[in-house]
Structure 1
Amino acid sequence: MLLRVWMCGSVKQFSQAPLSGGEEQLQLDSPPRHQRQDQQQQLSRTSPNQTTSAALSHRQSSRSTAETSWCLLTRKMLQERTRALQIMHTWNKVMLRREGETGVRGLTGDKGDLGEKGERGQQGECAVAPKSAFSAKLSEGLTLPLTVGDAVRFDKITLNEQGDYNTETGRFTCKVPGVYYFAVHATVYRASLQFDLMKNGHTVASYFQFYGNWPKPGSLSGGSLLHLVPGDQVWVQMALSEYNGFYSSTKTDSTFTGFLVYSEWKHSAVFA
């Protein structure tokens, strides 16, 4: 029987031939003649038991050496394979991080089928638009300011739900940003009248009515659109002390009115 043993990249062959009496003798494949003669002489001088033990010991040693060499070779191959896999994994990660060029936009797909009708949602709260409005008039027989720059105090409230107009000062204070319209309707009697519509101390518009000793009262009206932000104030102011012909009676009134046209609240909460 022929036994091949791998050792350090070389192959050695051993031939095993049966000897007389059932014993086995391990011989090297194709050794030199003088070595074969020496081995035969030694074997002839050695007892059968010693020959068998030596052969088995040599065979086990050769097999152990071959197995060790094979294990080392296998381990080295596994290490190289693991290292190659690690390099490949790292390269794949690097390549995945790279962004390629944007591809051509694909064709528009067919329109899908309509989905099922959803359940009816809960009823939400009704939104309330911001509000701001007032109207006030002069009381009968009210003594008007005679000093230039004084605000005319329209002291009798007709409407002031948001409380934006103050009867003590005669001024409207803005709370909701937006565009407002203000109007003044005056009854002129016993004297000429000139007043200004003011915003934060600046004249917006001026109005004048001459009184020519007419037997009956006359009228003077004016109005203006104003853009306001919270904190702005608007009022009616006397322009000249001698032109103070505001008049009010049971049959005729002098009024100051203002209201919000539209607000500029963006993403605001609901205002009542």
Structure 2
Amino acid sequence: MTVWGGQPPSALCAWVVLLLLVVSGEPSRSPYDQEQDQNRDRDRDSETTDPRTDPRKDPRTNTRVYHRDVSEVRGKDCRRCCDPGEQPPPHYSNPHYPQQYPQYQAVPQINITILKGEKGDSGQRGPYGKSGKSGQSGPRGPNGLRGTKGSIGTPGEPCKAQYAAFSVGRKKAIHSNDYYQTLVFDTELVNLYGHFNMFTGKFYCYVPGVYYFSLNVHTWNQKETYVHVMHNEREVVILYAQPSDRSIMQSQSLMLELEREDQVWVRLFKGERENAIFSDDFDTYITFNGHLIKPKSEG
């Protein structure tokens, strides 16, 4: 069968394609390619690109310049986009045309545990770092459990008992004068630990506690006897006897609570009136006694 000038139909299609290429100056484009080109042109036109300086456009026609060889299309059969069973355009598999979508390539996985080597030797220990600042004290913790009862300890030293006692006497008589006189004793009967001073005539307390004291004198005929038992500088009790035709023995006793370094002694009243205590050089008529009843340390 021949058409137009005795040419077969296939030859006629080839001449039509060649004529279209010469007129348009572009290779045949599918509707999909044309739509993609229009989208790219709009994007580039929005950037206000000068066609004179854009290498992607022809400055004479303001059209995109394609570097696709026309000969690639001339060897292909002429197809219509509306033909049934239309396959994707040939440029999808053409290596000279850019791909529209990224393609991914599988990367082989390597088991790292297979390549792991043996454990190396331990390194040398590094130097100690500087001490940090002290932190804040935490809250007090709860009380711990009660511990077990301890064992019995070794016996201690025996408790030292505390004592104090004295008993002194005088063999010489004494008369009053214009000032007070301390009664000094010349006979030491008992003086435990030397707490009574025979030179001053006073008892000095070295063990605080409760003490008992007693004083005994012999009066003089027709003379008055007037003495005091003194606690430090305070008059505590008096021993007194009125003038009489005969002499008698007089006594006084008391208890005192003493502190350390307190003093107890006997004082003869001064001579506003005749005042005396009888004695001789052979017998002891005057005695002064005292002893500790209970130390203060015992409560």
TM-score bin, normalised by smaller chain: 0.5 to 0.7
Quote how far apart the aligned CAs of 1:124 are. Answer: 1.4
Q: 2:94 aligns with which of 35, 41, 45?
A: 45
Residue 43 to residue 150, structure 1, CA distance change in 2 (3 Å): same
In 1, Cα distance between equivalents of 2:194 and 2:87: 132
Is the aligned partner of 1:160 residue 2:208? no
In 1, Cα distance between equivalents of 2:205 and 2:89: 128
- Give the structure 2 partner of residue 128 of structure 1: 160
Higher helix share: 1
Cα distance change of structure 1 residues 46 and 149 upon mapping to structure 2, 3 Å threshold? same
**Structure 2 equivalent of residue 151 of structure 1:** 182
- Are 2:294 and 1:262 equivalent residues in the alignment? yes
Please list every run of 5 or more consecutive structure 1 residues that lacks an aligned counterpart in the other structure: 1-36, 61-95, 98-114, 268-272
For 1:225 and 1:174, locate their aligned partners in 2 and report how far apart those are by CA, in whole Å: 14
Alpha-carbon distance in 1 for matches of 2:216, 2:257? 21
Q: Distance in 2 between matches of 1:246 and 1:39?
A: 161
Aligned to 2:103: 55
Q: Secondary structure at the match of 1:247?
A: coil
How many Å separate the matches in 2 of 1:218 and 1:202?
27
Distance 1:155 1:39, change over 3 A: farther
Q: Any gaps of 5 or more consecutive residues in structure 2?
A: 1-85, 108-137, 140-147
User: Offset at 1:246?
Assistant: 3.5
- Residue aligning to 1:220: 250
Q: Distance in 2 between matches of 1:184 and 1:178?
A: 20
Aligned length: 171
**Distance in 2 of aligned mates of 1:159 and 1:223:** 18
SS at structure 2 position matched to 1:55: coil
User: Helix, strand or coil: the match of 1:162?
Assistant: helix
Pairing 1:108-257 to 2, within 5 Å after superposition: 121-138=153-170, 140=171, 142-144=172-174, 146-147=176-177, 148-190=179-221, 191-214=223-246, 217-241=247-271, 242-247=274-279, 250=282, 253-257=285-289
Preserved CA contact (<8 Å) 1:193 1:246:
no
Superposed displacement of residue 155, structure 1: 2.0
8 Å Cα contact 2:231/2:264 also seen in 1: yes
The aligned residue for residue 16 of structure 1 is: none
Supply the distance in 1 between the matched residues of 2:264 and 2:237 (Cα, whole angstroms): 12
Distance 2:207 2:189 in 1: 21
Give the root-mean-square deviation of aligned CA atoms: 3.8
Give me the whole-angstrom Cα distance separating, in 2, the residues matched to 1:143 and 1:121. 61
Amino acid at match of 1:134: F
Which one has the bigger strand percentage? 1
Alpha-carbon spacing, 1:254–1:248, altered in 2? closer, same or farther (3 Å):
farther
For residue 178 of structure 1, what is the amino acid of its counterpart?
G
TM-score after normalising by structure 2: 0.48
Aligned residue for 2:224, secondary structure, equals strand
**Percent identity between the two aligned chains:** 25
Helix, strand or coil at the partner of 1:154? coil
2:276 maps to a residue whose letter is N
What is the TM-score with the length of structure 1 in the denominator?
Answer: 0.52
Which shows bigger deviation, 195-204 or 146-155? 146-155
Residue 185 of structure 1 contacts residue 222 of structure 1 at CA under 8 Å; is this kept in 2? yes
